[in-house]
Amino acid sequence: MDEDSFDPKQWVSGCGQHSAPPVQKPESDEGMGAFWREVAEPQHTAANAAPADTAHKSVAPRPSQDRRLTFAIAGSVLILAVGATASWLTRGDPALAPLASPSAAIPASSNAQERAINLAGPGQLAGALIEAGVRADDASAAAAAAAPHLASGGEIHAIIVLLPGEGGALLQQLRAVHINGSGVVLARTADGTFSVTPLAADVSRKIEVLRGEIDSESFYTSAVSAGLIDTLIPEFINAFSYDFNLASEVSPGDVFEVAYDQEVNADGDAVGQPKLLYAQLTTPKKSLALYRFQPPGEDAGWFDGNGATTKRGLMRTPVDGARITSKFGMRFHPVLHYNKLHGGTDFAAPTGTPIYAAADGTIEFAAMKGANGNLTVLLHDNGWRTLYLHQNVFAPGIAAGVRVSQGQRIGDVGTTGRSTGPHLHYEVHIDGERVDPLSIPVDEASRKRMEGATLQAFLKERDRIDMARSQRTF
């Protein structure tokens, strides 16, 4: 056991007013009369049509006609103005349009106002309405009516229509929705209460495909530059934990590709967390494409195109998203200042990064041990031991005598013991001797392959992912 682990210091944690358009003034009253008759008078049927030579004859309007025309023009202009106001109040939001009622909800002569508000959750609705000028009693009534339809929580975008008045504004309309489209529409009715129209979620799923090239800095920066969501990067790294060490086996120019499943709303905005479906990594020495799949009754895992699991032997990287900063071998110790055997591999990662069991085994030791800090020792079925030093904490339930499975979280990265920065010092002991973890050959014979109906379900999922990939051009 290495009592003094090297600590890397160079790691990187990685509503305005609208008016009706001007009406062109006719050159004469006679022209206005003819125009108004042509637009407003009912069409003649074939039975009562005037003779062809008199049907379009211009007749000067009588005084009584002028008065009727004046009232007709004024009424029509008023109708147009009210219609324009209602259109403005519901512009860009079809859900509000059928609820607007100029005769009941919004008087034609009102100076109604439209506002947009964003809320962190439904509990903020009443306060936000009051802050926008709505009367407290009205805001409380609206919030209570909307609450049952906003119970899913999460951010809310709301459009409100207010009618200012003495003592505060009255809420005329409210449309409050979550990012997935679920929510509610309230509209004031003639008796002063609110009609309630629930809105169902409107989401669909799609597969996004991205490809990128490793840059000179890190895989993380390369993946972010390619457009990969940062929460998927550790999953990508873990997919290759049995086959690649991204800290030492990839170089600038190597190519990676990912496909992930994402829910989107009607506007194409992402809803919820994405799920990584496919990961491919190509270097000059090897190329590997992996598919995520969950066999019935098992946890989801990574499989090659033929349905063989990636799990076998020891995980080459038993920690999330880390990079090697000190390899196995003789090194000058940065704290003790003399050469000694560095009997393991140091993986730099931020405090709290999960550490996984490299293979199935039984815990022999899990406690604080001097310079090693919080130490876990696993005894594996083949007699080998793996050691995990400097942990910040042990995972719940981890104690001597407990059986763990490969890939199970056993603790978190820390800097306990003789260490000046957060990292995992990882060792492998075979027949009592410390060996280089990266030198242990991959045990291909231990790989398991799906069969029967499970294999057929996997192949169907593989083909679905590949079809999405084939439709993406780079």
CA-wise closest residue to 421 among 6, 47, 4: 6
Torsion sign across C-alpha atoms 388, 394, 396, 402: positive
Q: What is the DSSP string of 285-308?
A: S-EEEEEEE--TTS--EEE-TTSB
Report the predicted TM-score, pTM, of the whole model to 2 decimal places. 0.55
Give the tens place of pLDDT for each residue, 416-456: 998 888 999 999 999 888 888 877 766 666 678 899 999 99
Give the tens place of pLDDT for each residue, 276-294: 999 999 999 889 999 999 9
Q: What is the DSSP string of 128-151?
A: HHHHTTB-HHHHHHHHHHHGGGST
Determine the number of helices (DSSP H) and then strands (DSSP E) in the chain. 7, 22
Residue 217 binned pLDDT confidence (cut-offs 50, 70, 90): confident
Give the tens place of pLDDT for each residue, 167-195: 889 999 999 999 898 999 999 999 989 99
DSSP run (H or E) holding 348: strand 345-348
Say if CB 123 and CB 139 are below 8 A apart: no
**Backbone phi and psi for residue 137, each to the nearest 5 degrees, phi listed first:** -65, -35
Instruction: Specify the pLDDT at position 189.
Output: 94
CATH number of 203-303: 3.10.450.350
Q: Check residue 42 and report its DSSP letter.
A: P
Instruction: Specify the pLDDT at position 265.
Output: 86
Measure the CA–CA gap between 44 and 377, rounded to whole angstroms: 99
Measure the CA–CA gap between 132 and 113, rounded to whole angstroms: 11
Residue 49 binned pLDDT confidence (cut-offs 50, 70, 90): very low
Q: Which of 29-38, 76-85, 125-134, 320-329 has the lowest mean pLDDT?
A: 29-38
CATH number of 323-441: 2.70.70.10
Residue 373 binned pLDDT confidence (cut-offs 50, 70, 90): very high
> Where do the domains of the chain lie?
97-199, 203-303, 323-441
Q: Check residue 271 and report its DSSP letter.
A: E
Residue 37 binned pLDDT confidence (cut-offs 50, 70, 90): very low
Torsion sign across C-alpha atoms 368, 373, 376, 382: negative
Residue 378 binned pLDDT confidence (cut-offs 50, 70, 90): very high
Instruction: Specify the pLDDT at position 442.
Output: 66
CA-wise closest residue to 464 among 180, 203, 205: 205
Measure the CA–CA gap between 471 and 465, rounded to whole angstroms: 10
